[in-house]
Amino acid sequence: GAVVSQHPSRVICKSGTSVKIECRSLDFQATTMFWYRQFPKKSLMLMATSNEGSKATYEQGVEKDKFLINHASLTLSTLTVTSAHPEDSSFYICSASSAGSYEQYFGPGTRLTVT
Amino acid sequence: TQLLEQSPQFLSIQEGENLTVYCNSSSVFSSLQWYRQEPGEGPVLLVTVVTGGEVKKLKRLTFQFGDARKDSSLHITAAQPGDTGLYLCAGADRGSTLGRLYFGRGTQLTVWP
pLDDT digits (tens, 9 = 90+) for A49-87: 998 888 899 999 999 999 999 988 889 999 999 999 999
- Under an 8 Å CB criterion, which residues of A touch B? 2, 4, 6, 32, 34, 41-44, 46, 49, 51, 57, 91, 93, 95, 97, 101-109, 111
Long-range contacts of B60-65 (CB under 8 A, 24+ apart): B63/B34, B65/B32
Q: φ and ψ at A81, to 5 degrees?
A: -90, 110
Between the two ends of chain A, the Cα-to-Cα distance in Å is 37
Q: For residue B51, is pLDDT > 70?
A: yes
Q: Which of B2 and A12 is assigned the larger pLDDT?
A: A12
pLDDT score at B1: 57
pLDDT score at B94: 66
pLDDT score at B95: 65
Asked if B46 contacts B63 with a C-beta cutoff of 8 angstroms, the reply is: yes
Task: Tell me the C-alpha distance between B87 and A98, whole Å.
Answer: 23
Q: Which band of pLDDT confidence, cut at 50, 70 and 90, is reported for residue A100?
A: confident
Q: Which band of pLDDT confidence, cut at 50, 70 and 90, is reported for residue B84?
A: very high
